[in-house]
Structure 1
Amino acid sequence: MMGCFVTGTDTGVGKTLVSAGLLHALARHHRRVVGMKPVAAGLVPWGEDWASEDAIALRSASTLAVPPALDNPVLLPDPLSPHIAAARAGVEIDIAAIVASYQALAAQADAVVVEGAGGFHVPLTDTLTGADLAQALALPVVLVVGLRLGCLNHALLTAEAIHARGLTLAGWVANRIDPEMGAADENIAYLRARLNAPLLAEVPYQDLPEPGSLVFDLPKDWQ
């Protein structure tokens, strides 16, 4: 079973797009692929119920349908930092319970793509962050770098934090989220030389991004 944890240099850098794109790419090699959004904050109508936009996107890209309690075990109403949204909802985010949900998914799937919330150190509780969740899952990490001013510092700091947790940075994705950014190619070249991990994809700027159109250079052991 192949699994990875997708994090980003910040919120709004395209983690969901990349996670869904990875699911499409993996589905070309594996029959049962599924996405997981462990913690999601913010609701939209979904059939006769409510769901997270991120979880819906991952479900659309998955080939395996599972109960929401498995692919999105923590769903919070308010679109806020998870620790604040959880406190307002009277919910305690339990990393052990999330890991159990992941293990249940992994038992059914050939590949699982787990999308984190916000950046790598986003607070989940007053004492735990997304980095603690990533460490508990012990999956190789894919870093989504949103190409905009400041991304070099954010990318290098996040990579350093990933390594500090004893995790493997399996690769990174350059997402051109700012069409006006100057020297984007030079920024990509700088990170290629310093992240010590393969560039899995370059995502062009798109008004209406389509996950299935993304082209990935997947690691051999993911195929």
Structure 2
Amino acid sequence: MNHAYFVTGTDTEIGKTTIAAGLLHAARRAGLSTAAAKPVASGCQLTDAGLRNDDALALLAECSLALRYEEVNPLAFAPPIAPHLAAREAGVRLDVPALVDAVRPILARQADFTLVEGAGGWRVPLAGTASLSDLPIVLGLPVILVVGVRLGCINHALLSAEAIQRDGLRLAGWIANLVDAQTSRLEENLATLNERLPAPCLGRVPRLDRADAASVAAHLDLAALGF
């Protein structure tokens, strides 16, 4: 049983990696082998081993398969800006074939549960007229949407879901990440998302004092994905 998903978010800085690491941890806890890829990342830190991204490291830590950092995050850029701009400054052409070639070896490892995490939302630009959404389209990956729950999230979530489906991909599930604990009419907002999003909710993650993978996993349920 090999399942792979593309993880996207309703926006940037809404806890997409935190949720992805929690999903991987939940899969490991269920006895599944896990692998992950974050093919492109900006905002990386220079270390003795080279450029390293905190999000990619968090995913790598939840992979049960023995993977090298460069396999998980082959395209790493230092400036904390949009990936296509960071790549342009580094003299790298950020195109779909390069990202597909980077991800396919991870998928070929055939872990029980594999996540490919995007950067930001669904329509993040690449070189030319391409978008990061072209990567899961080429690979035919179903999508998990992380909804950063705060004012305006319903519109962002529904537009993201519409775009995913219009691109011919299946929205496999969504997760409510309560990035703003003071969101007005929280229960009503979540009920609206449940009614209108064309996929099951895989969990509701509250604001956590320690948002590590294990703590997040406790609020997730993989049953709707067939596990």
Equivalent-residue separation in structure 2 for 1:177 and 1:101 (angstroms): 31
Q: Secondary structure at the match of 1:119?
A: coil
Equivalent-residue separation in structure 1 for 2:225 and 2:202 (angstroms): 13
Native 8 Å contact 1:20 1:35 kept in 2: no
Native 8 Å contact 1:19 1:35 kept in 2: no
Native 8 Å contact 1:26 1:222 kept in 2: no
How far off is 1:130 after superposition? 1.6
Partner residue, 2:118:
116
Equivalent-residue separation in structure 2 for 1:37 and 1:210 (angstroms): 18
User: Which runs of at least 4 in structure 1 moved beyond 4 Å after TM superposition?
Assistant: none
Aligned partner (choices 132, 136, 139) of residue 137 of structure 1? 139
Partner residue, 1:33:
34
Assess, with a 3 A threshold, how the Cα gap between structure 1 residues 31 and 144 changes in structure 2: closer, same or farther: closer
Partner residue, 1:167:
169
One-letter code of the match for 1:83? H
* Deviation larger for 70-79 or 26-35: 26-35
1:115-165 CA distances to partner (integer Å, 9 max, x unpaired)? 110100011223111211221121110000001111010000000000000
Assess, with a 3 A threshold, how the Cα gap between structure 1 residues 124 and 30 changes in structure 2: closer, same or farther: farther
Native 8 Å contact 2:146 2:177 kept in 1: yes
| 2:130 is aligned with 1:128 | yes
Partner residue, 2:196:
194
Unaligned runs of 5+ in 1: none
Write out aligned runs for 1:173-188 (5 A).
173-188=175-190
Native 8 Å contact 2:95 2:130 kept in 1: no
1:7-63 CA distances to partner (integer Å, 9 max, x unpaired)? 000001111011101101111334431121011001125564321111011011111
Native 8 Å contact 2:147 2:176 kept in 1: yes
Give TM-score, length-normalised by structure 2: 0.92
Native 8 Å contact 1:36 1:71 kept in 2: yes
Assess, with a 3 A threshold, how the Cα gap between structure 1 residues 68 and 48 changes in structure 2: closer, same or farther: closer
Assess, with a 3 A threshold, how the Cα gap between structure 1 residues 46 and 186 changes in structure 2: closer, same or farther: farther
One-letter code of the match for 1:118? G
Partner residue, 1:104:
105
Q: What fraction of aligned residue pairs are identical, expressed as a percent?
A: 45
Q: Secondary structure at the match of 1:171?
A: strand
Partner residue, 1:73:
74
Give TM-score, length-normalised by structure 1: 0.94
| 2:66 is aligned with 1:62 | no
Equivalent-residue separation in structure 1 for 2:20 and 2:90 (angstroms): 27
Partner residue, 1:86:
87
Equivalent-residue separation in structure 2 for 1:29 and 1:99 (angstroms): 29
Unaligned runs of 5+ in 2: none
Equivalent-residue separation in structure 2 for 1:125 and 1:30 (angstroms): 39
Native 8 Å contact 2:205 2:220 kept in 1: no
Write out aligned runs for 1:136-155 (5 A).
136-155=138-157
Native 8 Å contact 1:121 1:129 kept in 2: yes
Partner residue, 2:10:
9
Number of positions where the alignment pairs a residue of Structure 1 with one of Structure 2: 223
